[in-house]
Amino acid sequence: NKSKILRVILVLFEGMSGLHINWGKSFLYPINEVTTMQSLNAILGGEIGSLPTMYLGMPLGGKLKV
């Protein structure tokens, strides 16, 4: 399963980099329609977010204002 492989890759990243992914504070943001979002969330953990949202005080996923 690709989502389990992604989880393994992220855990390997943690081990090699010394950085820690806080799964409890992580968000998954679906782009377009993602039919497997619940199973992805069960494997990766965290919460399911929606766009538009704010990240570090900057808007993500909103309409571009010129």
Backbone torsions φ then ψ of 27, nearest 5 degrees: -125, 145
Place of tokens 């992805």: 40
Number of domains the chain is built from: 1
Place of tokens 């890759």: 9
- What would the pLDDT profile of 16-63 be if each residue is shown by its tens digit? 999 999 988 999 998 888 888 888 888 888 899 998 999 899 888 877
Q: Residue 23 falls within a domain, yes or no?
A: yes
Place of tokens 């390997």: 12
Domain with 22, as residue range(s), is 2-60
Q: Per the confidence metrics, is the pTM higher than 0.75? A: no
- What would the pLDDT profile of 3-12 be if each residue is shown by its tens digit? 889 899 999 9
Q: Residue 65 falls within a domain, yes or no?
A: no
The CA–CA distances, whole Å, from 51 to 9, 14, 31, 54 equal 25, 27, 8, 9
